[in-house]
Every structure is written in C-alpha cells, then in structure tokens.
C-alpha cells in the first residue's frame, strides 16, 4: 500500500509541477510568436480579416485550449492512468472476482464519457460563437467610430438593446444546457 501511495504522489507531482509549467511556457512562446506575426502583416490584412476584434478573440480561445490541453489534460491523463492501473492491480491481488466485474463495466463508463464529451464540445462551440457575437456588438457600441450618434433617440437605442437582449438568452440557454450536462454525468 505504501508503494501505491508513493506512486500516486509521484504522478501528482509530475502533473502539477511539470505539465502546468510546460503549458505556461508553451503558451507564452505561442503568444509572443503570434504578436510577431501580427506586427509583420500588411495593413490590408486587418481590413479584410476581422475588424471587430475577431482575431484577438479567436487567438485567445485557441491559446487557452492549447494551455488547457498541455497543462491539465496531459497531466490528468498520466495521473488518472497511474491511479487506474494501481487500483486494478490491488483489486486483482485482493479480490479478483470483484475486479473482473468492475473491469467489465469500464466500456460503459467510457461510452458515457465519450457521449457527454461530444455534447460538451458542441456546447463549447456554441458558447464561443455567442461570446464572439457579443464582443463584436460591444465593440461596435463602444468604439469611437461607432455609427450610432450620441444624440440617438431613446426608442432606437432600446430596440438595439432588445435585439441584443435576444442574444443574451442564448447565453442563458447554453449555460443551462452545460449545467444539465455536467449534472447528468
């Protein structure tokens, strides 16, 4: 039992100290190279691609995905596999009948996890699209070159807010679906 505890401790230490540090360093390198590439672009690139901060929001989400994959996912995978195999070995040593029954339920657990992962991925894409749309609306409203004059009548601004308010319902709906998915799994 002491050997298993030491193995879990080592796997946890590798997860926290090595992989999170590696993820932070890799994303810092990616961000600095991205800034260098952006500064080397012609001005026409910015006219044709994403006037409203689409570039920044897309790169930020991509870098966060890379950091999440490197920092958390790889370390968690190593940690969870070490825990799984050590628990399986202990199970077969102590009571092999229960270990076989537990091992037989593994494919069902993996299938349920895969289905929920697919659903969560689709929800994350919808949430990202809704955030990008909200960011473009906010930038249009708050930018100095906004097409809305400051002396705009109140009914027109309230109609703009009501059309944006419908988009806020998407956030609530996606958040509710995300909570229900996590609750079900």
pLDDT tens digits, 86-108? 888 989 999 889 889 888 988 99
Same domain? For 162 and 185 the reply is: yes
Q: Closest Cα partner for 141 from 150, 130, 128?
A: 150
- Provide the number of structural domains found in the chain: 2
Mean pLDDT of 29-51: 78
Whether residue 65 is found in the same domain as residue 17:
yes
Indicate whether 5 and 21 sit together in one domain. Answer: yes
pTM above threshold 0.85? no
Find the domain containing 159 and state its range.
106-185
**Of 104, 126, 156, which residue is a domain's last?**
104
Looking at the structure, tell me whether residues 117 and 89 fall in a common domain.
no
Do 96 and 145 sit in the same domain of this protein?
Answer: no
Q: Give yes or no: residues 97 and 161 share one domain.
A: no
Q: Are 28 and 97 within one domain?
A: yes
State the average pLDDT for the chain.
76
pLDDT value at residue 153: 46
Residue 102 CA to residue 98 CA, distance in Å, equals: 6
Radius of gyration of the chain (CA): 24
114 and 100 together in one domain: no
60-66, Cβ contacts within 8 angstroms, sequence gap of 24 or more = 61/128, 63/27, 63/30, 63/31, 63/34, 66/23, 66/26, 66/27, 66/30
Domain end call among 48, 82, 104: 104
Same domain, 130 and 178: yes
Among 104, 121, 139, where does a domain finish?
Answer: 104
Are 113 and 100 part of one and the same domain? no
């Amino acid at each position: 039992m002491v050997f298993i505890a030491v193995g879990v401790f080592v796997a946890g230490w590798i997860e926290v100290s090595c992989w999170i540090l590696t993820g932070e360093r890799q994303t810092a390198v990616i961000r600095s190279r991205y800034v260098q590439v952006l500064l080397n672009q012609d001005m026409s690139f910015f006219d044709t691609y994403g006037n409203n901060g689409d570039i920044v929001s897309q790169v930020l989400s991509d870098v966060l995905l890379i950091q999440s994959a490197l920092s958390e996912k790889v370390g968690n995978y190593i940690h969870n596999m070490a825990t799984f195999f050590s628990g399986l070995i202990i199970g077969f040593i102590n009571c092999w009948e229960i270990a076989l029954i537990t091992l037989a339920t593994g494919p069902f657990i993996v299938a349920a996890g895969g289905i929920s992962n697919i659903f969560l991925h689709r929800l994350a894409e919808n949430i990202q699209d809704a955030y990008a749309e909200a960011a473009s609306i906010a930038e249009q409203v708050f930018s100095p070159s906004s097409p809305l004059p400051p002396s705009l009548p109140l009914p027109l601004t309230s109609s703009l807010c009501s059309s944006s308010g419908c988009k806020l319902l998407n956030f609530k709906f996606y958040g509710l679906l995300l909570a229900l998915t996590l609750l079900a799994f």
